[in-house]
Chains A and B, each alone.
Chain A
């Protein structure tokens, strides 16, 4: 076998093929796989969606103010994304302590929720709503 390898790859030691063959297979497979994920399956991270969904509400929030946040989504992944896209608002998860503004994201229900002490200021019609304290 070594003599066959020598015929095709003169001057090279055969263990090199242990690296080169898998590298070529994996490199090309990875590229095709990524191409299929991006072009055919159109796989996209949902943070870009969050950016779009919260773009309007961000403009309505005062910079550096503490803002409450309520959602019907799973806490950790959702809140971290919202906290990121709404900078420079200082997001506080839940209703305690209560601040002037409350951002709500209800994606599983079309009904407008009620929050005691808050009135709806703007409904962005994409599941995101902005409430303000009614005093």
Chain B
């Protein structure tokens, strides 16, 4: 039963992806993308089901597991049926660099660093801080424990009387931990560690596999290797907070939109999946709600001028279909259980009129964010900028597709963070010090994806070199 409760989310998520892409999802590097996206989406869906089961019936137990098992068997059989029916593999338009062979030592470096990453994570997460860090026992696992141990009075997890920090936070992390604890009947520390580890390592593997599909394996390895330099990322992942999981879903959504831009024949299926991952982002943390709104604004409303209404509506329909289940659960949670947000609420928004003309506050927030971005992880951004400038941008039309909208989306996310600090009721300096590094982590894997998506690959232009030699 222990293994089953862990495997089922992965099976459910992966079966959905295989059923959607039977011709592509189980071969080569795409298998890694399927597995990682499947694990994340599976956690999103099962945490929703577990929460609704708790609301409607009892805490998840034996019957819940049987129901979830039936769902996964149905989805797996459907995926197998779709896979067998689509035996002919139609290659999507290949990336312009996919014909270049893999650099062997780059692959070995990636594997060595991946092992070091996993070992470091297990050492810190399991032995040094098995209960995570402050917010894990103040927010994330605190609420999961209340849902488990609270019995008939589990709603106390979201009560005013509880006075817990951020009780309005959505439930992907809390719900996933609670689901497994409840079925197993014990609140073992291994469960939140596993949820944190799967999503943290998943981001790195998604970064690798997506760039391997879009720009060739070498570029994928290099981007993943760059993630290993970000030691702050592994550190925050061991805290068992919601930020690395949110980073996972933001990256997944951007990757799916990039794939959609390049493979129009898969457009609607990718949009369905992007709807699922974007809604998982919203189900993870409140910043994910901002992300979901910005995705709709930029990728659909912003595209109306360039595309016809009907085409955009059709795309949005598939995106909405993907996000419908998790988003409706989130709306239900926010209306029925969540308290008002501590940052965006009537009282704070009223202060906006006062702050609006306070130039010093603008400068304080702007300076604070800029300073933190540059000092994040021992000034790693300087290395990223240096690599970007030295390496140069790949100017092929393949790379240019959709990149502007992704960059705009990420900049608007930063704008959203600026706004939340701007209206914060807390001491600004303290608030930025306590949270800004984690907000950077939320966007960090996506920024790395975008940089490595744009820059030239690690290989020399062999054709150009050859021509140079022969002339």
Q: Are B142 and A83 in contact (CB under 8 A)?
A: yes
Chain B CB count within 10 A is highest, among A24, A31, A47, A87, for: A87
Which listed residue, A11, A35, A44, A88, touches B151 by the CB 8 Å rule? A88
- Name the distance in Å between A25's Cβ and chain B's nearest Cβ: 9
Chain A CB count within 10 A is highest, among B151, B162, B231, for: B231
Interface of A is mostly: helix
**CB nearest neighbor in A for B223:** A19
Q: Are B390 and A38 in contact (CB under 8 A)?
A: no
Which listed residue, B119, B137, B156, touches A84 by the CB 8 Å rule? B137
Instruction: Report chain A residues within 8 Å CB of B141.
Output: 84
Given the known interface contacts A37-B128, A38-B124, the answer about A15 and B391 at a Cβ–Cβ threshold of 8 Å is yes
Interface of B is mostly: helix
Chain B contacts with A in 218-269, Cβ cutoff 8 A: 222, 225-226, 228-229, 231, 234
Q: Are A26 and B229 in contact (CB under 8 A)?
A: yes
Instruction: Report chain B residues within 8 Å CB of A48.
Output: 130-131
The answer to whether the Cβ of A23 comes within 8 Å of any Cβ in the partner chain is yes
Per the bound structure, the CA–CA distance linking A44 and B412 in Å amounts to 39
Per the bound structure, the CA–CA distance linking A64 and B141 in Å amounts to 18
The answer to whether the Cβ of A27 comes within 8 Å of any Cβ in the partner chain is yes
The answer to whether the Cβ of B426 comes within 8 Å of any Cβ in the partner chain is no
Residue total for B at the interface (Cβ-Cβ under 8 A): 49
Q: When A and B form their complex, what is the total count of cross-chain residue pairs whose Cβ atoms lie within 8 Å? A: 125
The answer to whether the Cβ of A20 comes within 8 Å of any Cβ in the partner chain is yes
Chain A contacts with B in 1-60, Cβ cutoff 8 A: 9, 11-13, 15-16, 18-20, 22-24, 26-28, 30-31, 34-35, 37-38, 43-45, 47-48, 51
26 of the cross-chain contacts (CB-CB < 8 Å) are A11-B103, A11-B460, A12-B458, A13-B391, A15-B387, A15-B391, A19-B226, A19-B229, A23-B113, A23-B229, A24-B109, A26-B229, A26-B231, A27-B112, A30-B116, A30-B231, A30-B234, A43-B128, A44-B127, A44-B128, A83-B142, A84-B142, A87-B146, A87-B149, A88-B149, A88-B150
Binding site for A on B (CB under 8 A): 103, 105-106, 109, 112-113, 116-117, 119-120, 123-124, 127-131, 133-134, 137-138, 141-142, 145-146, 149-151, 153, 156, 161-162, 222, 225-226, 228-229, 231, 234, 383, 386-387, 390-391, 456, 458-460, 462
